[in-house]
Amino acid sequence: MTSEAMQTPPRHSRVGLWFGLGAVALCIATVGFIAANRPAEQSLAAVENQKQVDLGQLVYQRNCMACHGVKLKGKPNWEVENAKQAGIPLSADGTTWHLSDQRLFDAIATGTRVKGGKSERIHDTAFGDAQGGKLSDQEIWALIAYFKTTWTARQFESQKETSLRERPVGSTAPGSK
Q: What are the tens digits of pLDDT across the range 50-92?
A: 999 999 999 999 998 888 888 888 877 766 555 455 678 888 8
- Give the global pTM: 0.67
Identify any residues that bridge with 122 across adjacent strands, giving them in sequence order: none
Kindly state whether residue 35 falls inside one of the protein's structural domains: no
Euclidean distance between CA atoms 108 and 136, whole angstroms: 11
pLDDT of residue 42: 62
pLDDT of residue 8: 63
CATH number for position 93: 1.10.760
Kindly state whether residue 43 falls inside one of the protein's structural domains: no
Kindly state whether residue 2 falls inside one of the protein's structural domains: no
Kindly state whether residue 19 falls inside one of the protein's structural domains: no
Query: How far, CA to CA in Å, does 117 sit from each of 27, 88, 114, 120?
Result: 43, 21, 6, 10
Kindly state whether residue 94 falls inside one of the protein's structural domains: yes
Kindly state whether residue 70 falls inside one of the protein's structural domains: yes
Kindly state whether residue 86 falls inside one of the protein's structural domains: yes
Range of the domain at 132: 50-166
pLDDT higher than 60, residue 141: yes
Kindly state whether residue 173 falls inside one of the protein's structural domains: no
Q: How many domains does the chain have?
A: 1
Mean pLDDT over 31-53 rounds to 74
